[in-house]
Amino acid sequence: MEMGKYRNIYFIGIGGIGMSAIARYFKFRGYEVSGYDRTPSELTAELEKEGIAIHYEDNPEYVPKNAAETLVVYTPAIPHDMGELVFVQTHGYKVVKRSRILGEITQGQRCLAVAGTHGKTTTSTLLAHIFESSGEGCSAFLGGISKNYGSNLLTAPNDVVVAEADEFDRSFLQLHPEIAVITAMDADHLDIYSDLEHVKEAFKAFASQVTGTVIRKYGLDITSDDTRAEIRTYSYDDARADFHAENIRKDECGGITFDLVYPEGRINDCRTGVPGWVNTENGIAAAAIALTYGLEPEKIREALGSFAGVKRRFDVHYNRPGHAYVDDYAHHPAEIAAAVSSIRDIFPGRKLTAVFQPHLYTRTRDFAADFASALDKADRLILLDIYPAREEPIPGVTSQIIFDRVSLEDKMLITKEELMETLENEDIDILVTFGAGNIDRYIGPVTEMMERRYGK
């Protein structure tokens, strides 16, 4: 694609986390950038502050008029019959999916990609931080807002690009990385893939496109039959993996100090700046890419320790003796189970109240029993209505089908409008909010409530 012929880049669905990073990139490169999103958000407000024009009604009048000089980028989450999308498709505009444009940006550069059904946002953000902190630098397109940099985009003059490789809609098959991590290959997005075998096939196809090294989580079914790249493995603490932790020490706040063992040696006394064994495992995955690339071990150790985390990924908003509040983007059963495991590890013996907002009707339908099993690991459950996102309702699919399968006696099903009043009447020890919908709108009010009740 010849980008020099375009003056305007127009985004349909600009408020999405992946779309907004690309919008910021083109703004940085000097293009006229504008776009549509369905609802205003904190992220769209930030984009507008950066000089990007955004509107919130489906109206083709806002599309730049010169079709020959305008590239339109859209997210597959947009309905096919959306007015602006139909307009640009029928009026001579060049229209591409987000994944295609990310593939174009990374082409010809040293792409370092993080794929997996969970863990990829924290791992890719940590990898970008390692490169930035070490002085090597990189451009990075992230699936979350880095707390170190306040953005989902980093830019650098070199040819290193860190990319979160998204399996939704097989988007990651637009990438041809030099080095890639694969964190997990669980069943998800079954509206796209239909079953787990097709999910695995897509990840194997992704691995086949890696030109240098695939670093898979130990136990994942990626073999030399699937890729010509070198295969390495990582794990939290399995000594059979090429990259793993030894001499693990935990403190009372959930911090973990460890020695990172890798094929060429050992980095002693590493510590990730965010708590929990899951974040340590993500840190090992990021360090594995950085070591394979050739960064200095001591700079990697320092960067792990200064990592501040990602908004909405195991995000601790309140932590005082006897009371804590964690928010997490987890919206898949395996993610919820891992997050609960980490919270139990940090706060052993404490009463855990989980608030969960299911995301998508299809995911709720496909994984109702698995969600119930993961949520059963809490002590108390507050379950909210489904956040539909891009989907229309499915008859018979509501949060009730999860609720009925949860074996906890201490559970309740409410609307999100009832959440704050419910929490006000709770004696909260450890509270965690889960979900990829709009449950994040309650982070501020919940944190303020905790501070009012239990002290700042």
Average pLDDT for 291-303: 98
What is the structure's pLDDT at 312?
87
Instruction: Give dist(CA 408, CA 32) in Å, integer.
Output: 53
Is pLDDT at 191 greater than 80 in this prediction?
Answer: no
Is pLDDT at 53 greater than 90 in this prediction?
Answer: yes
> Range with the lowest mean pLDDT among 4-18, 90-104, 241-255, 297-311?
241-255
What is the structure's pLDDT at 424?
95
Mean pLDDT of the chain: 95
Give Cβ neighbours of residue 83 (< 8 Å, ≥ 6 apart): 58, 59, 60
Is pLDDT at 275 greater than 90 in this prediction?
Answer: no
Is pLDDT at 192 greater than 80 in this prediction?
Answer: no
Q: What is the dihedral of CA 14, 16, 18, 21, to 10 degrees?
A: 50
Q: Structure tokens of 17?
A: 């986390």
Domain regions of the chain by residue span: 3-97, 108-306, 315-454
Instruction: Give dist(CA 350, CA 347) in Å, integer.
Output: 6
Query: What is the CB neighbour count within 10 angstroms for residue 296?
Result: 13
What is the structure's pLDDT at 404?
98
Give per-residue pLDDT as tens, 382-424.
999 999 987 899 999 999 999 999 999 999 999 999 999 999 9
Instruction: Tell me the pLDDT band of 61, cut-offs 50, 70 and 90.
Output: very high
What is the structure's pLDDT at 324?
94
pLDDT over 90, % of the chain: 87
The superfamily (CATH) of domain 108-306 is Mur-like, catalytic domain (3.40.1190.10)
> Range with the lowest mean pLDDT among 7-11, 202-206, 347-351?
347-351
User: CB–CB of 173/202 below 8 Å?
Assistant: yes
Amino acid (1-letter code) at residue 214: V
The superfamily (CATH) of domain 3-97 is NAD(P)-binding Rossmann-like Domain (3.40.50.720)
User: CB–CB of 433/327 below 8 Å?
Assistant: yes
Residue 156, burial from CB neighbour count under 10 angstroms (0-12, 13-18, 19+): middle
Instruction: Give dist(CA 366, CA 394) in Å, integer.
Output: 12
pLDDT over 70, % of the chain: 99
Average pLDDT for 324-329: 95
Output the CA angle 112-113-118, nearest 5 degrees.
Answer: 150
Give Cβ neighbours of residue 279 (< 8 Å, ≥ 6 apart): 122, 272, 309, 314, 342
Phi and psi for 353 in degrees, rounded to 5?
-100, 120
Amino acid (1-letter code) at residue 260: L
The string over 370-407, giving b where at least 16 C-beta atoms fall within 10 Å of a residue's C-beta and e elsewhere, is bbbbbbbbbebbbbbbbbeeebeeeeebbbebbbeebe
What is the structure's pLDDT at 355?
98
Is pLDDT at 190 greater than 80 in this prediction?
Answer: no
Instruction: Give dist(CA 120, CA 286) in Å, integer.
Output: 10
Name beta bridge partners: 266.
Answer: 261
What CATH number matches the domain at 315-454, 3.40.605.10, 3.90.190.20, 3.90.660.10, 3.50.50.60?
3.90.190.20
Instruction: Give dist(CA 282, CA 200) in Å, integer.
Output: 21
- DSSP assignment string, 352-365: EEEEE--B-HHHHH
Is pLDDT at 188 greater than 90 in this prediction?
Answer: no
User: Does residue 78 sit in helix, strand or coil?
Assistant: coil
* Cut 0.75: pTM above it: yes
Instruction: Tell me the pLDDT band of 336, cut-offs 50, 70 and 90.
Output: very high
Strand 315-320 and strand 323-328: the pairing is antiparallel
What is the structure's pLDDT at 180?
98
Give per-residue pLDDT as tens, 339-390.
999 999 888 999 999 999 999 999 999 999 999 999 999 999 999 999 998 7
What is the structure's pLDDT at 250?
87
